[in-house]
Amino acid sequence: MANQTAMAPRIGITASSGDGADGSYNQRVAVNTSYVQWIERHGGLPLVLPNVSPDLADALLDSLDGLLLSGGADVHPLLYDTEPHAKLGTIDVPRDRFELPLARRALARELPILGICRGIQVLNVAAGGTLRQDLPSDPAATVQHAMRATGGPTAHHRLSLVPGTRLGALLGTDPVAVNSYHHQAVDRVAAGFRVAARAADQVIEAIEGCGERFLVGVQFHPEVMPPGTAVSEALFEAFLTACGRPV
Question: Looking at the annotation, which residues are catalytic?
Answer: 117, 221, 223
The helix/strand/coil state of 129 is coil
CB of 95 to Mn ion, least distance (A): 22
The helix/strand/coil state of 242 is helix
Check residue 179 for interaction with Mn ion (CB under 5 A): no
Q: How many residues are given for the chain?
A: 247
Check residue 118 for interaction with Mn ion (CB under 5 A): no
- Pick from 130, 180, 229, 232: which binds Mn ion (CB under 5 A)? 180
Which of 166, 165, 162 has its CA nearest to residue 176?
162
Check residue 145 for interaction with Mn ion (CB under 5 A): yes
Separation between Cα atoms, residue 175 and residue 107, nearest integer Å: 30
Which of 73, 69, 72 has its CA nearest to residue 100?
69
Measuring CA to CA, how many Å separate 59 from each of 52, 53, 229, 240, 246? Answer: 11, 11, 35, 21, 25
Alpha helix (H) ranges present in 113-212? 118-126, 166-171
- The residue range among 99-107, 129-137, 144-152, 239-247 that interacts with Mn ion, by the rule CB under 5 A, is 144-152
CB of 15 to Mn ion, least distance (A): 23
Closest residue to Mn ion, based on beta-carbon distance: 180
Measured from the CB atom, is 52 or 147 closer to Mn ion? Answer: 147
- The residue range among 6-14, 32-40, 145-153, 223-231 that interacts with Mn ion, by the rule CB under 5 A, is 145-153
Stretch 19-78 residues interacting with Mn ion (CB under 5 A): none
- Binding pattern to Mn ion, positions 72-111, x when CB under 5 A? ----------------------------------------
- The residue range among 81-89, 114-122, 132-140, 176-184 that interacts with Mn ion, by the rule CB under 5 A, is 176-184
Measured from the CB atom, is 145 or 245 closer to Mn ion? Answer: 145
- The residue range among 63-71, 82-90, 172-180, 229-237 that interacts with Mn ion, by the rule CB under 5 A, is 172-180
CB of 235 to Mn ion, least distance (A): 15
Q: What residues contact residue 244 under an 8 Å CB cut-off, 6+ apart?
A: 9, 65
| Count of residues that bind Mn ion according to CB under 5 A | 2
* Phi and psi based region of residue 72 (left: phi greater than 0; alpha: psi -120 to 50; beta: remaining): left
- Count of helix runs (H) and strand runs (E) in the chain: 6, 13
Residues found near Mn ion in the complex (CB under 5 A): 145, 180
